Amino acid sequence: MKRFGYTLAILASSVLASACTDDLTPTDTNTPPPGSTSGDQSTTFDHDNSGISPWELLDRLTQEGPPRYTAHVHSCPKVRYRTLGAVLTSLGANPANTTSLSAGDLYTNGFTALGGPNYANRIRENIGITTSGASREFDIFAAAADEVIAAFGDPTSALMQRCPGATLFDATTNACSPSGITCIIGTPATSRHLDYCNLTVTSASDPTVGKRLAVAAMLAAAYTCE
């Protein structure tokens, strides 16, 4: 966009300039940095000086690339809170389940951890992946695994309505099925998905635990990014 940057450049310069000193001991933590517009009636009144850190920005540019690249490609946002609820429903889990530590309970009580919006304070939903958000999402999928597996056996479940005829595990061999994996991850399963699923099932202490782990792991991987 046009005119990007003047204030941030000034901010960056002041931050960088202050970073030049060998003396790392702050002299007065209440004194705003040079260029700040925080103040009082005798100076500049109070302004919101929050904003992206130049250092964080530089780090991001170094790792992810410049805007002329990043603007062309998909980012990896977390699944939005409401969307996660809909996804759980589509997977056969009940996001309104109030049973302690059920997927629904973890979802409902995870609004803040999952970065839900706080419009009262003019804050939009945070779609960045955070440690707390990713951890909570993985917990939800781990808790939802049994519900998801059970939904494959219920023709009336939301999952089977969305994926009629799909099977996740062979009833006798416990082998993973591509149709079931495709259904739960939302994109065609590859041989690597299948191999991973089967390896997880066969490596576990028993097939039931293995299936649960396989489902939770595939969901966690598939829904790290929306």
Partner 1 sequence: MKRISLVLMAAALAAPACSSSGNGGDTTGSGSDMTGSNGDQWDQALNDRVVDYSAALRIAALRLTGDLPTMDEINQVANAPDDASKKTAYESLIDNYMARPAFARQMFYFWRDTFKQGEAADLDTAPAFAAMLSVNNGAYTDLFTASSGNCPTFDEGTGAFTPADCANGGPKAGVLTNPGVMKQFFSNFAFRRVRWVQETFDCVKFPAEVSDTPTNVGGSSPYTGVWPFKSIATTMDKGGTGRVDFQDTSAVICANCHTTINHIAPLFAYYDMNGQYQTNISVPTPLDGAPPAQMTDYLPAGETTAWRYNVPAADISALGADMAQDPAVAECGVARIWNWALGKQDIVDALEEVPSDVIATQVANFQSGGYKMKDLIRAVYTSDDFVKF
Residues 10-29 that bind partner 1 (CB under 8 A): 10, 12-13, 16-17, 19-20, 22
Q: 3-state class of 123 per DSSP?
A: strand
Count of residues in contact with partner 1, rule CB under 8 A: 76
In the complex, least distance from residue 30 CB atom to partner 1, rounded to whole angstroms: 15
Phi-psi map region of 94: left, alpha, beta (phi>0 left; psi -120 to 50 alpha): beta
**20/199 Cα distance (integer angstroms):** 53
Which residue number, 9 or 96, has a Cβ lying nearer to partner 1? 9
In the complex, least distance from residue 97 CB atom to partner 1, rounded to whole angstroms: 19
Which residues between 182 and 211 bind partner 1 (CB under 8 A)?
182-183, 186-188
Which residue number, 20 or 206, has a Cβ lying nearer to partner 1? 20
The only residue of 23, 27, 29, 124 in contact with partner 1, by rule CB under 8 A: 124
Q: Which residue has the tokens 């939009």?
A: 124
Closest CA to 169 of 134, 204, 221: 204
DSSP one-letter code for 110:
T
Only one of the segments 23-31, 122-130, 167-175, 199-207 lies at the binding site for partner 1 (rule: CB under 8 A); that segment is 122-130
- Verify binding: residue 163, partner 1, rule CB under 8 A: yes
For residue 139, the tally of other CB atoms under 10 A from its CB is 18
Crossing angle of helices 191-203 and 207-222, rounded to 10°:
140
In the complex, least distance from residue 45 CB atom to partner 1, rounded to whole angstroms: 5
